[in-house]
Structure 1
């Protein structure tokens, strides 16, 4: 099991001195308004951005010291938008997840094919294996991208808005799947009620800084929502699950203070 630890991680003015820990097997959700730094933080973790200060450690190893292939062997990524311009079948797309474990001239062997088929079955899209990826629905595409990440056999799974543009059924299916994988997970979410239901802990970002961290019950308060999001809301335990549920009150949004927290 894998632990991710961020120590004063910064990227210019977009992310400043972020501390974060995702413990082995834990699902940590990043929440905050648009432009708060969630995607920047994730990109610093999986390597499309290089931090300007601080460190990102995976089981004690500095991620910036790892080459792209070594990093990809340990971190699976489900981006906000998957590429649709290539006419790959779903099986071919998922099989690309084996690339970090192979030399560039090597083809797929029986073991690679078996892992691909197993990942397709695990996310429930085995019957779509021969379909062109661009023809899939939004929920099916997200499942295929999760399968591609699983084929990498990562210790850490990073997901950027995995429920974006999905209807509620697919949102629940994707988050349910992620929560059952057994990997350490770091994901950005906009929907606070989904974050409360599926994340062990939440990290709140506001203007590039971490302003709160803890369990959903500790973090999601009326005061925080007023300060960070500029909205009036009540937070009440769900009558069946006990998870905090946010009810937004009607009315115009509030003026946000220059420094919310």
Structure 2
């Protein structure tokens, strides 16, 4: 997946300006940056709820901007930041919704649909929750179900906007570990830089609607960058157990 020269404007105000970034096959790639930096806007351009003012978003050589909603949904699956939990569907029915791009609305489920749904439920560790009502699930269980729904779309690209939002640390680690283990090309926005440093192969840092740094977490997430982009003092070391960058934020008076 490659984003080249993407710009997005609304009411004469540019929210994204000349975004260039990529995600290689099988990579877990993080978008990080302060609030208002453009992470969610960029993801919405990638999965199609916003149309870029300029630029291209290429997946296997095809420009996603030119595809219709159903064709795009066969290539890109998304787990948005906020998903309503009020709909009265079972977990299995919720996951099976991911097969919608492959059929007309009146067509019944096929044996393949059932098999893919069962496989996704098992892969996300929620096979025993299939008959539960989706609203009855915990936050971590809901996120697993939504990732399972995305998986049954058989996407080439999985896009996730703050997949650990509102989850306690156990579920944050579990969800990101599962996403990384899927082997699918994944592009995800994260607030927590330590999680991004540990789980992402590469990170792209956004600030004021543009990419200001890209690369491996250890090369990008430096004290200097955090001071410039986030306006905080931080000590960045290498964690002795994980080998990943470990960020400790320092009070301004230190």
Provide the residue aligned with 1:259 in structure 2: none
- What does the per-residue CA deviation read over 1:97-120, in whole Å, with 9 as the maximum and x for residues that have no partner? 000011121011221111111100
Alpha-carbon distance in 2 for matches of 1:198, 1:127 = 27
Any gaps of 5 or more consecutive residues in structure 2? none
Q: Please report the TM-score for the alignment, with normalisation by the length of structure 2.
A: 0.97
Alpha-carbon distance in 1 for matches of 2:245, 2:112 = 44
SS in 2 for 1:14: strand
Confirm or deny that 1:11 pairs with 2:34.
no
Alpha-carbon distance in 2 for matches of 1:53, 1:211 = 19
Distance 1:252 1:146, change over 3 A: farther
Alpha-carbon distance in 2 for matches of 1:126, 1:182 = 20
Alpha-carbon distance in 1 for matches of 2:231, 2:33 = 11
Alpha-carbon distance in 1 for matches of 2:141, 2:242 = 28
Q: Which runs of 4+ in 1 moved over 6 A?
A: none
Provide the residue aligned with 1:134 in structure 2: 135
Provide the residue aligned with 2:72 in structure 1: 71
Provide the residue aligned with 1:258 in structure 2: none
Residue pairs, 1:70-219, within 5 angstroms: 70-219=71-220
Alpha-carbon distance in 1 for matches of 2:108, 2:83 = 23
Alpha-carbon distance in 2 for matches of 1:195, 1:201 = 9
Deviation of the 1:83 alpha carbon: 1.7
SS in 1 for 2:176: helix
Deviation of the 1:85 alpha carbon: 2.0
Deviation of the 1:82 alpha carbon: 1.3
Deviation of the 1:211 alpha carbon: 0.4
- What does the per-residue CA deviation read over 1:22-50, in whole Å, with 9 as the maximum and x for residues that have no partner? 01111110000001000000000000000
Any gaps of 5 or more consecutive residues in structure 1? 254-261
- What does the per-residue CA deviation read over 1:171-194, in whole Å, with 9 as the maximum and x for residues that have no partner? 000000000111101000000000
Provide the residue aligned with 2:30 in structure 1: 29
Deviation of the 1:228 alpha carbon: 0.4
Alpha-carbon distance in 1 for matches of 2:95, 2:84 = 13
Confirm or deny that 1:241 pairs with 2:242.
yes
Deviation of the 1:252 alpha carbon: 6.5
